[in-house]
Amino acid sequence: PLMKDLFGLTDLEKRLATHLHLKRVIVVPGDSDQSDWVKKEMGRAVARILKSIAQPDQVVAVAGGTTLAAVAEMMTASSSLKETTFVPARGGLGEAVELEANTIASQMATKSGGKYQLLHVPDQLSDEARETLIKEPHIQEVVELVRSARIVVHGIGDAKAMAERRKSSPQLLAHLQQEGAVGEAFGYYFAPDGRIVYYGRSIGLTLEDLAGADNVITVAGGSDKAASIAAVCPAVGGGTLITDEGAARAILPM
């Protein structure tokens, strides 16, 4: 706490919580766009929160991405997470397997000593294929588990970067640009005013499901993501944000 005050981070946290209408904000020093260890520090903060709020037999749904990969890396064995089941928030994304939510869920379980269940479905499906898959008993079972999650941990992406990472069509890229999409989470793309401009439907958590979780933990940093974070946070609904100084200073008005 003392170090934080020296950097003025406690004040930043309070101002950011008010500005983004969030219950709680944690700001780690530095800018993750500039140094990799800052992402790990955000990861460490998330790992600490997860330990402290754990309850027996809970389900934790996790998204994918490099920031969530840093969270998984920073998890340590914990008796309070032994009965936790980690699940991916949604199906795969067609991006690198190390960054898929399935991979992150299994790593978080392995590192913390918890359990996991995986969702083996591609993230971008035709309506027809999705309707068929959703009827598979095993998939149904995991989807129910995902939707029952007490805690959801997710990242925020830059809209263009995410659309490219997902190998989206030139038409979709043009649509997102035209609509001014700046941020992405759970396959939803948001404009600066929080308007959803596109939703890549999948199997797993929807934005509506988040209301049923006790804790939604958002983790995203880097000054380049300031606009993305500002657009997505209010839409996701007022939980906890773990970010860095670079993003926090860029989001707040001077």
Binding site for ligand BG6 (CB under 6 A): 63-67, 93, 99, 155-157, 162, 184-186
Q: Which is nearer to ligand BG6, 100 or 245 (CB)?
A: 100
Q: How far is the CB of 186 from ligand BG6 (least distance, A)?
A: 6
Q: Which is nearer to ligand BG6, 66 or 78 (CB)?
A: 66
Per the CB < 8 A criterion, the answer to whether 101 and 121 are in contact is no
Q: How far is the CB of 57 from ligand BG6 (least distance, A)?
A: 26
Q: Which is nearer to ligand BG6, 5 or 36 (CB)?
A: 36
Q: Which is nearer to ligand BG6, 58 or 67 (CB)?
A: 67
Q: How far is the CB of 66 from ligand BG6 (least distance, A)?
A: 3
Q: How far is the CB of 183 from ligand BG6 (least distance, A)?
A: 8
Q: How far is the CB of 156 from ligand BG6 (least distance, A)?
A: 5
Q: How far is the CB of 87 from ligand BG6 (least distance, A)?
A: 14
Q: How far is the CB of 99 from ligand BG6 (least distance, A)?
A: 5
Strand order of the β-sheet with 188-190 is: 157-158, 183-185, 188-190, 196-199
- Of 52, 97, 64, the closest CA to residue 204 belongs to 64
Q: Which is nearer to ligand BG6, 77 or 161 (CB)?
A: 161
Whose CB is nearest to ligand BG6?
Answer: 65
**DSSP-derived pairing of the beta strands 151-154 and 188-190:** unpaired
Q: Which is nearer to ligand BG6, 54 or 156 (CB)?
A: 156
Q: Which is nearer to ligand BG6, 54 or 102 (CB)?
A: 102
Q: Transcribe the chain into DSSP letters.
A: -HHHHHHTHHHHHHHHHHHHT-SEEEEESS-TTT-HHHHHHHHHHHHHHHHHH--TT-EEEE--SHHHHHHHHH----GGGTT-EEEESB---SS-GGGSHHHHHHHHHHHHT-EE------SS--HHHHHHHTTSHHHHHHHHHHHT-SEEEE--EEHHHHHHHTT--HHHHHHHHHTT--EEETTEEE-TTS-EEEE---SB--TGGGGG-SEEEEE---GGGHHHHHHHHHHHTS-EEEEEHHHHHHHS--
